[in-house]
Amino acid sequence: MSNPDYDLVIVGGGISGAAIAKTVVEQSAKNKKFPRILILEAGRATALSADKYDTYVEAYHEALIKVPNSPYPASASAPQPDVLDIRPLKDAHGKPKIGDQGYFVQKGPMPFGSDYARSLGGTTLHWLGTTLRMLPNDFRMNETYGRGVDWPIRYEDLKPYYERAEWDVIGVAADVDHQYYPGIEDDDPKKYFRSKNLEKFKNGVYHFPMEEIPSSYLDQYLAKHVDGMTITLPGMDRDEPDHEFTIRISNTPVARNSTPTTPDYKVVGAAGNADRGQRCEGNSSCIPICPVQAKYNALKTLYELIVRYPYQLKEGEKEGQRARVDIRSQCVATEVMHDDGKVTGLTYKTYYDDGFKPTDHTVTARTYVLAANAIENATLLLASNNAANRSDQVGRNLMDHPLLLTWGLLPENVGAYRGPGSTSGIPSFRDGDFRDARTAFRVEIGNWGWNFPENTPYTTVLDLVGGGEDGKAQFYGKALRKRLGEILPRQFRIAWELEQDPEARNRVTIDDRYRDALNKYRPVIEYDLSDYVKASLPWAAEASRQLFAQLGMAEKRRRPTYETGDYSHYDADDASVVQYEGETYCVRGAGHVVGTHRMGDDPTTSVVDSHQRSHDLPNLFIAGCGSMPTLGTSNPTLTMTALALRTGDKIAEELSK
């Protein structure tokens, strides 16, 4: 490999790849080194200009069924999972059945309930934007609770990278004083966030780059009624005492633009249209799309790279005087070629969608990064003659945050359907000694009524108007308008997001029978919940009952009637049904695809080291949520970004040698 095509090739134009590219460019520049970087993206580059981004918004408005991937069309050459493809994995006789109607081949026993986007910008196009850091014990689950595995790094190790992710890549809005987390030193958020960067943060007193996004009227209503209440949850048996939790509504750190906390911080607006999206305007559609890009997406970082470091040299410019970044979309990586303990090249197919045959390419580089999403990374490695898989952990330990939804009709108007998807949560259950017996969970308060569990407001309109066999409108005219005004603003829902523990049996594999239009392997997924996870379902349900009772919603109700009460219910024929101790629950995916190439110090039990470097192939980094050994209760994107910055530093250091 005397003359590689590039210094660095990155597979995947999402947040991880973008953050690594940006870091490598910026850190290398400090050593007067100017790398040439290629980013290969499987999906389309529809939205790298603001006017094209608007076509995504229009597609969302016109979509018949509005799901996270509605705005983002996929090609058969780079298909993507869709939550609409999730079906029960049982036939009419209750026998197990493979679900292969979508992109995923779901072998069950439960369907994997999450999706991701294969478009330039990746799944940050439709993430909610929650940017919670992990808690200290999340990094040492085995040491503290005898569960899962420990990370090779600790919270304090990752802290400086969290800070850079919050300031330099994502842009986070939050107030340190309003973070009420369990499991932190002296219950003091100031200590949890204390920075070692004394140059930037005087006396180490940390602050976020932007002021917190205001808590919704709903959050304020809840705080008035439940702040300080105690929720008591039963132990499993006589030996385990009851556990008590004090409820405190906590404003959530988010990747949404607001007012800078310091004049030095420059708010990053829409890609290609910086004046737009300077502040969150309350479009109430973070998922599936922020119409103004006030919420961070990776297009912003990618756009910055191609504008500042275009691959094409301008007239008079000479090679080696500045970094150069090349982004190629509709390029699907097909194999990581490796020999003698190192990667020797990468093959990919470029597709055209116009009837022209896909073309084959090979590219070489000094260093390679896979940052194509946890499931895509694993599939590619398995398809590459089992690359980087001496540990047999590639594809294993697939995790998500299974969500239990509970919802009810409040006695008063709380102004539902306004504001970002969530502005606050209840962190009380994120850590505690109960984690030796059952999983921790985070409570996300939803601002969009019953949109998630019941597809409202559609269903509420249909319930009231009626039709069908009878053919007669039940409510119409002024009575309909008034009744909707009485019901919709009172709709309330909570998501109880359960930490999933790593299990070798939850895995992605490949199978010759299942391939896509480019003849690339489709992910074959086996997925289930452990008893450790399931044991928290009755807890979440019980916590919900106590909370709902405090809010005056104790009565069980069901649509199509609308009266104050608890509307939570789980149907036994749902695709994601879970039976536990005689009770039926349904869980939803959180879109948090984690764990398929976990990091660790031991090459026999982990795929990458703490820098996300392959134990087996040292010039290969496998980056993203797949590297996380355990998940904690934080939405994983912020942690993934912090890890990407750490990886970027390492690559820059090596390329500078």
Residues that bind another protein (CB under 8 A): 57-58, 60-64, 66, 214-217, 220, 258, 279-285, 289, 291-292, 411-420, 423, 447-448, 451, 457-458, 461-462, 465-469, 471-473, 476-482, 484-486, 488-490, 563-564
State in angstroms the smallest separation of the CB of 428 from another protein: 23
For residues 332 and 522, give the distance between their C-alpha atoms in angstroms, rounded to a whole number. 13
Q: Which of 331, 307, 305, 276 is nearest to 54 (CA)?
A: 276
State in angstroms the smallest separation of the CB of 461 from another protein: 5
Please, where are the H alpha helices in 165-285? 189-193, 217-226
For residues 486 and 545, give the distance between their C-alpha atoms in angstroms, rounded to a whole number. 23
Helix, strand, coil distribution of the chain in percent, nearest 5? 25, 20, 50
Q: Which residue has the tokens 């009266």?
A: 563
Output 29 or 223, the one with its CB closest to another protein: 223
Output 182 or 282, the one with its CB closest to another protein: 282
State in angstroms the smallest separation of the CB of 489 from another protein: 5
State in angstroms the smallest separation of the CB of 18 from another protein: 24
Output 46 or 384, the one with its CB closest to another protein: 46
CB crowding 71-89: b at 16 or more within 10 Å, else e: bbebbebbbbbbbebbebb
State in angstroms the smallest separation of the CB of 282 from another protein: 5
State in angstroms the smallest separation of the CB of 220 from another protein: 7
Output 168 or 463, the one with its CB closest to another protein: 463
Output 62 or 317, the one with its CB closest to another protein: 62
Chain-centroid distance of CA 380 in Å reads 20
Output 280 or 642, the one with its CB closest to another protein: 280
Give the chain's count of helices (H) and strands (E). 14, 21
Output 231 or 286, the one with its CB closest to another protein: 286
Let me know: does 10 contact 369? Beta carbons within 8 Å: yes
Cβ count near 216 (within 10 Å): 23
State in angstroms the smallest separation of the CB of 410 from another protein: 9
Output 73 or 415, the one with its CB closest to another protein: 415
State in angstroms the smallest separation of the CB of 288 from another protein: 8
What is the length of the chain? 657
Measured CA to CA in angstroms, residue 567 lies from 418, 510, 561, 570, 581 at distances of: 21, 41, 10, 10, 21
Contacts for 290 with CB less than 8 Å, ≥ 6 apart:
129, 256, 277, 280, 283, 297
